[in-house]
Amino acid sequence: MSVHPSSNIKRITTHILQEMKNRGEKISMLTAYDFSMAGIIDSAGIDIILVGDSASNVMAGHETTLPITLDQMIYHASSVVRGVKRAFVVVDIPFGSYQGNSSEALRSAIRIMKESGAHAVKVEGGAEIKESVARILSAGVPVMGHLGLTPQSIYKFGTYTVRAKEEEEANKLIEDAKILEESGCFAIVLEKIPAKLAKKVAETVSIPVIGIGAGGDVDGQVLVVHDMLGITQEFKPRFLRQYADLRSAITQAVEEYVKDVKAKDFPNESESY
Ligand code: KIV
């Protein structure tokens, strides 16, 4: 059992995640990219925090996940790790740091683990990255797979629409899931695929399957935290349930602050030394 050194809180491990699947308890997962947000969602009871390369979109304002670098991912990951006492922290290996070169994949994974203190890495793809997955695992680094809509391949797909609706792509996805399981991945993310196919994958492999836009018959769910809190604008896919409207709350608070400063109402006497 792993315990957070200063809190006695029992940490989530790959073993605990597997037990959750085995007993039918759903796994909750959200992204985070910084110390403060990670601390909030960790103390709210999230099981897995993903330091996603979606940081490229929501933190840096890029159109895709492709530009973010390994150094930038490590910066975000180390900030998250410092805020987390219980959750299992997974970090995306960014585009260009693992595909097609298993030595580089291993080097990237080791840098993430060593420099951030995270607990696992995530990679996108199936058969084509099998060697990289095996190499990373050989160093004792847990690997989460990611199939379906894999945003690092957006220029191959051309659009962000639902993947694997046709039989051929669905069959390849099932085969890829089996390959990832056989390779030793501890879990797989399935993004934006038909719910029926996701259910089949979750029944076919024994490791946890976490869905985003993949229906409810999988072992857990993941969302981008900025999307579910209503911070991002104009991103409203069908699969997204918005749990708060922080954009409006922040806008209102800032408008009030500006008004108070202009009106010389802030700071008042009790807020001054
Ligand atoms: O980068 C990310 O946020 C992700 C999730 C969408 C699963 O990969």
pLDDT digits (tens, 9 = 90+) for 85-100: 999 999 999 999 999 8
Shared domain check, 263 and 237: no
Same domain, 254 and 180: no
201 and 265 in one domain? no
Q: Are residues 232 and 263 in the same domain?
A: no
Q: Is the pLDDT score of 2 beyond 90? A: no
| Index of the ligand 1 atom closest to the CA of residue 54 | 1
pLDDT of 63-84, one tens digit each? 999 999 999 999 999 999 999 9
Residues making up the annotated binding site for 3-methyl-2-oxobutanoate are: 53-54, 92, 122
Instruction: Say if pTM beats, i.e. exceeds, 0.85.
Output: yes
Report the alpha-carbon angle 56-176-161, nearest 5.
50
For ligand 1, whether the C-beta of 212 sits within 6 Å is yes
In terms of residue numbers, what domain contains 258?
247-273
The burial class, CB within 10 Å (0-12 / 13-18 / 19+), for 80 is buried
Active site residues: 191
Mean pLDDT of 177-206: 98
- Same domain flag for 193 and 258: no
- Ligand 1 nearest-atom number relative to CA 189: 7
CA of 87 to the centre of ligand 1 (A): 17
Residue of 56, 192, 212 best suited for mutating to test ligand 1, as the one with most atoms within 8 Å of CB:
212
Query: What is the pLDDT of the chain when averaged over all its residues?
Result: 97
Atom of ligand 1 nearest to the CA of 65: 1
Q: What is the pLDDT of residue 264?
A: 98
Across the strands, what pairs with 72?
none
Two structure tokens written together for 57: 């979109």
Total of domains in the chain? 2
In terms of domains, do 200 and 265 share one? no
Q: Tell me the per-residue pLDDT of 105-162, one tens digit each, with 9 for 90 and over.
A: 999 999 999 999 999 999 999 999 999 999 999 999 999 999 999 999 999 999 999 9
- 258 and 136 co-located in one domain: no
The angle, 0 to 180 degrees and rounded to 10, between the axes of the packed helices 35-43 and 70-83 is: 40
Same domain, 118 and 238: yes
pLDDT for res 1: 56
CATH number at residue 214: 3.20.20.60
- What gap in Å lies between CA 211 and CA 192, rounded to an integer? 8
pLDDT, position 25: 98
Within this chain, do residues 39 and 101 fall inside the same structural domain, yes or no? yes
Q: What pLDDT score does 258 carry?
A: 98
**pLDDT reported for residue 37:** 98
Rounded to an integer, the average pLDDT of 198-208 is 98
The Cβ of residue 45 has, within 10 Å, a number of other Cβ atoms equal to 9
